[in-house]
């Protein structure tokens, strides 16, 4: 009986060419596994394509709700943003994919898992760290790093290889953007984006929405409610997180929300330039932040910001299944107990504009915050506070004056 390999299958040219290559190179039985994180129409026709290419079986595993509840929401609650801009759309999907690949490998008693990530990117790290953490006994095959046996270097090579094996597929050799899509975002790399000096060709590039310039001239108000840090309703309608995010993607795309052009530092050491569309995710992150700023005290907020940045790096580097991620997430979850309330904002030409926030746990006290004197605050108390708070500065200034005086003698 042949050994089995589980192929992380997207249906694109790269992973389609891998099916006959794995059979020919290692004499594996190839079982394809496509993990649905919200790719939409990209999944159409995959079963026929995989079988046509020589796979014995195709799994299409829908993990959209798991992706939203177990991966997206911890990142939203942590305020996890990599290098101040990147909302981790690809990064936080990879551990869920790795976990399901391992599940299928166990079910099929497979000896190996194969992925099509390149040797220059982050995804090879994310997939393989996830697999190693969950199944250290399973072999990992990364063809793009196996240059002694993987000799194809271009789309033309892959198309020719497929034709040689009797596989006539609807792919051509024309170059296009390299994209990754899920319910949270879509990323774009390649073509003019490879040179940071070039402005993105947004007319050809955007998939989920429009630029702010092409957004409607009229703004649109949105209301959301949260319970313990989790979104529960959108415009008065109760929905699960995946449904809220789907609707926010439509609204955000319509109003030009969440388009960023960044040069990021990859884990492998190089810089890469990409454009990311995250319309719904950008709105969800902003709504959560808008509510949280009413509720968390200063020290907790400051600590959470620091740990949120570290959480983003942990996720970006593929270290989801680690004690550190679990520990940071445990802290974040403890801060979410009272993040409950309603947020309202207006979407207008790429902007998310606050329009009011309320919470039964708000620490904002109008009596304290107003310029008029309230019962809870005596202005005279500030004098003693400033004296003590500024004491180190005063002592140092006195010492420096004393030193200068002695030096001038």
Q: Where are the beta strands (DSSP E) in 53-118?
A: 57-62, 112-114
φ and ψ of 217, to 5 deg: -80, -10
Does residue 301 lie within any of the structural domains? Answer: no
Of the residues 56, 70, 103, 178, only one is catalytic, namely 178
Q: Are residues 154 and 225 located together in one domain of the fold?
A: no
Higher pLDDT, 281 or 370: 281
CATH number (domain holding residue 286)? 3.90.1260.10
Q: Are residues 372 and 354 located together in one domain of the fold?
A: no
Does residue 326 lie within any of the structural domains? Answer: no
The b/e string for 61-93 (b: 16+ C-beta within 10 A; e otherwise) is: bebbebbbeebbbbbbbbbbbbeeebbbbbbbb
> In the listed set 110, 131, 164, which residue is the last one of a domain according to the structure?
164
Q: Are residues 46 and 155 located together in one domain of the fold?
A: yes
Q: Are residues 220 and 280 located together in one domain of the fold?
A: yes
Q: What is the mean pLDDT of residues 242-260?
A: 98
Percent of the chain's residues with pLDDT above 70: 97
Q: What's the confidence (pLDDT) of residue 367?
A: 64
Of the residues 14, 36, 181, 359, only one is catalytic, namely 14
Of the residues 36, 123, 126, 180, only one is catalytic, namely 123
Q: Are residues 351 and 371 located together in one domain of the fold?
A: no
Q: Are residues 20 and 123 located together in one domain of the fold?
A: yes
The reply to whether the predicted model has a pTM over 0.85 is: yes
Q: What's the confidence (pLDDT) of residue 248?
A: 98
Domain count for the chain: 3
Q: Are residues 159 and 270 located together in one domain of the fold?
A: no
Does residue 240 lie within any of the structural domains? Answer: yes
- pLDDT of 347 strictly over 90: yes
- CA-to-CA distance for 401 and 365, rounded, in angstroms? 42
Q: By C-alpha distance, which of 198, 353, 171, 183 is closest to 275?
A: 198
Q: What's the confidence (pLDDT) of residue 234?
A: 98
Higher pLDDT, 44 or 259: 259
Q: Are residues 200 and 60 located together in one domain of the fold?
A: no
- pLDDT of 382 strictly over 70: yes
The range of the structural domain enclosing residue 291 comes to: 179-296+339-358
Q: Tens digit of pLDDT for each residue in 164-206?
A: 998 877 766 666 888 999 999 999 999 999 999 999 999 999 9
Q: What's the confidence (pLDDT) of residue 86?
A: 98
Q: Are residues 49 and 143 located together in one domain of the fold?
A: yes
Q: Are residues 8 and 143 located together in one domain of the fold?
A: yes
Of the residues 36, 53, 94, 359, only one is catalytic, namely 94
210 DSSP β-pair partners: none
178 is catalytic: yes
60 — pLDDT class (breaks 50, 70, 90): very high
Q: What's the confidence (pLDDT) of residue 310?
A: 98
180 is catalytic: no
Does residue 257 lie within any of the structural domains? Answer: yes
CATH number (domain holding residue 60)? 3.40.50.620
């Amino acid at each position: 009986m042949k050994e089995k390999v589980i192929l992380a299958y997207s249906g694109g040219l790269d992973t389609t060419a891998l099916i006959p290559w794995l059979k020919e190179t290692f004499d594996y039985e190839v079982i394809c596994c496509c993990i649905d994180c919200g790719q939409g129409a990209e999944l159409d026709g995959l079963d026929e394509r995989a079988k046509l290419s020589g796979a014995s079986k195709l799994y299409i595993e829908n993990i959209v709700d798991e992706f939203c509840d177990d991966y997206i929401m911890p990142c939203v609650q942590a305020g996890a943003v990599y290098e101040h801009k990147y909302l981790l759309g690809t990064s936080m999907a990879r551990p869920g994919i790795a976990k399901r690949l391992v599940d299928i490998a166990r079910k099929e008693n497979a000896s190996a898992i194969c992925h099509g990530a390149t040797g220059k990117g982050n995804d090879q790290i994310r997939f393989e760290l996830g697999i190693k953490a969950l199944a250290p006994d399973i072999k990992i095959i990364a063809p793009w790093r196996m240059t002694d046996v993987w000799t194809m270097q271009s789309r033309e090579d892959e198309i020719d290889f497929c034709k040689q094996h009797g596989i006539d597929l609807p792919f051509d050799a024309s170059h296009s953007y390299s994209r990754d899509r899920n319910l949270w975002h879509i990323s774009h790399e390649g073509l003019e984006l490879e040179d940071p000096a070039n402005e993105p060709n947004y007319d050809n590039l955007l998939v989920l929405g429009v630029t702010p310039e092409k957004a409607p001239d009229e703004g649109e108000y949105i209301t959301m409610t949260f319970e313990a840090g989790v979104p529960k309703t959108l415009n008065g309608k109760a929905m699960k997180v995946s449904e809220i995010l789907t609707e926010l993607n439509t609204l955000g795309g319509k109003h030009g929300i969440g388009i960023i052009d960044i040069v990021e530092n990859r884990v492998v050491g190089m810089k890469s330039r990409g454009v990311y569309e995250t319309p719904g995710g950008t709105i969800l992150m902003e709504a959560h932040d808008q509510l949280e700023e009413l509720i968390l005290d200063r020290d907790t907020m400051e600590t959470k910001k620091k740990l949120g940045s570290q959480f983003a790096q942990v996720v970006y580097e593929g270290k989801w299944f680690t004690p550190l991620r679990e520990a940071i997430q445990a802290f974040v979850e403890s801060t979410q107990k009272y993040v409950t309330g309603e947020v309202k904002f207006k979407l207008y030409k790429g902007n998310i504009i606050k329009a009011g926030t309320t919470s039964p746990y708000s620490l904002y006290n109008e009596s304290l915050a107003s310029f008029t004197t309230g019962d809870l605050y005596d202005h005279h108390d500030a004098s003693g506070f400033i004296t003590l708070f500024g004491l180190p500065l005063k002592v140092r200034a006195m010492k420096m004056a004393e030193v200068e005086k002695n030096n001038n003698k």
